[in-house]
A and B are shown apart, each in its own frame.
Chain A
Amino acid sequence: MATVGVVCERVRVEEKQLLAALIDAGLRPAPFPPGALPLALTPGGQALPHLLIDRGQNRVAAAAILTACRAIGTITLDAGLAARGDRLAVAAALAAAGLPRPETRLTCSATAALDTLGRFGYPATVLPVTAGGEPIAILDLDTAEAVLEHREVLGTSHEALSLIQAGAPATRWPVIVVGGVAVATMSGATGEPLPALARELAEAATVTLGAAIVAIEIARVDAGLVVWDAAAVPEFRQATAIGSHSVATAVAELAQARLTAEQTRPASEHELIPLTTTHRREAVTHGVVLTA
């Protein structure tokens, strides 16, 4: 029976649902807490699950685990660039793919950020570049000065970096996409049902990010619907299914399909990729994205 590790620090409601769905799908799942295992960076260095599903709340640790495990041959189901990169990489990739996006600037200082906010007008949104950082709606200049100077003075160089997006739209829909298909959503703040175009945009964004499981946030701005943000580990306990499958069931079916595909793959394709090669490949990918 194939084993599945669920990368997570804690088993929350979502992970419980996922573990139950994986058992129902005939798989043998178990939590895979990043802090519990020193990871040998050589194939066969330890017994790993056949497949890992990313539900890591600590994005730095999860990204490291995913990168290392992929390099030594473990299949991973994750949010692709949104799981292993940062918000800048995600924003740049989505823009390069031609998907509709809010007007966005990268700023590396509080001065540049304040200048950008002044040009965009208020409200606007500051998104920390570090994956997982909560976006901050900036309603006026006083708030902007307080937040940005606080981040720059007291933070590390990472906190001085910000992505600034024009607007702070009230109508946003997180769309959870599994295996390229939108399977669930949350109602927007206004309760407006998910438009068909939002679903299409979310699925297109998922392809761009190379994501197996991801939440794509679609927002309505003056110009229409835009891809606002992506979340690597979406909460889905209160999600509304779009079709007949719950998120957990869809993920379990995707895991099963990936494992079946791996078992039927010709032996010649099972060569493991040395870690250094993978790192170089990912570095190249990031470089292309960021300079696009």
Chain B
Amino acid sequence: MVACPECAAEIELSNVEQGEIITCPECGVELEVLSVNPPTLGLAPAEGEDWGE
């Protein structure tokens, strides 16, 4: 189990690969699997132009 960095919901990771994008079942945010062992999630990079920000 790993906590969603957005809403802190506990998410069970199974059959995922590093770099995979998943959706938090509780808050709906897109998350990137940063690491499988240990399981680590981060917010998925936003799509689109960042205008240098």
Residues of A within 8 A of B (CB): 10-13, 15-16, 128, 133-134, 136, 146-148, 150-151, 154-155, 159
> Does B12 interact with chain A (Cβ within 8 Å)?
no
Contacts of A151 in B (CB 8 A): 51-52
- Chain B contact-residue range equals 10 to 19
The residue on A at minimum CB distance from B3 is A13
Taking the closest CB of chain A, its distance from the CB of B29, in whole angstroms, is 6
- Residues 1 to 31 of chain B near chain A (Cβ within 8 Å): 6-8, 26-29
Is B53 a contact partner of A12 (Cβ separation < 8 A)? no
- For the residues of B in contact with A, the DSSP-based class is loop
Is B51 a contact partner of A12 (Cβ separation < 8 A)? no
> Does B47 interact with chain A (Cβ within 8 Å)?
no
Taking the closest CB of chain B, its distance from the CB of A10, in whole angstroms, is 4
Which of B6, B27, B49, B53 is close to A154, meaning CB atoms less than 8 Å apart?
B49
Is A16 a contact partner of B8 (Cβ separation < 8 A)? yes
Task: Using known A-B contacts A10-B7, A12-B6, determine if residue A155 contacts B27 with beta carbons closer than 8 Å.
Answer: no
Is A155 a contact partner of B7 (Cβ separation < 8 A)? no
Query: A151 vs B29: C-alpha distance in the bound complex, in angstroms?
Result: 27
